[in-house]
Amino acid sequence: MDNNNQPIQPTAQPTLATVQAGQEKESSKMVLWFIGGIVLIMLAVGGIYWFLSKQQINQQVSQVPVRPAEAQVTTETLSQNLNAVDVESSDSSDFSQVDQDLQDL
């Protein structure tokens, strides 16, 4: 055991000025933490909003039907479909009442 027999020096008691300075440092740290927390919350909310808006745009784009190359309508296919309908052989009695009404006008 090392005992130098030196007298113990009393330490100075903290004065009111040092206590106030310490409290000011703590309060300024609290303000910085508060501002930092608000910034982080704003960034999180902005990120969530951006993510959800991107998802809505992607869903709207995916709802637009895209025709495959084979199913695209061309003038030839329209002509073939038009010629495939037999209009002359249809029963004209279906329109006799309509024709009568038009004549009465």
- Whether 43 is in a domain gets the answer yes
Residue 87: burial class (beta carbons within 10 Å; 0-12, 13-18, 19+): exposed
| Mean pLDDT, rounded, for 72-101 | 75
At residue 67, the pLDDT reads 60
Does the residue 13 lie in any domain? no
Domain total for the chain?
A: 1
Q: Would 12 be classed as within a structural domain?
A: no
Task: Tell me which DSSP letter residue 73 carries.
Answer: -
Residue 11, domain member (yes or no): no
* Domain-embedded: residue 98: no
**Quick check: is 1 in a domain?**
no
- Taking only the tens place, the pLDDT of each residue in 26-72 is 888 899 999 999 999 999 999 999 998 888 777 766 666 666 665 66
Structure pTM?
A: 0.38
How far apart (Å, rounded) are the C-alpha atoms in residues 34 and 37? 5
| Listed range (52-61, 84-93, 96-105) with the worst mean pLDDT | 84-93
Q: d(Cα 97, Cα 4) in Å, to the nearest integer?
A: 130
Would you call 21 helix, strand, or coil by DSSP?
helix
Q: Is 70 exposed, middle or buried (0-12, 13-18, 19+ CB in 10 A)?
A: exposed
17-32 mean pLDDT:
75
Range of 51's domain? 35-61
Kind and range of the H or E run holding 84: helix 75-84
- Residue 41 falls inside a structural domain: yes
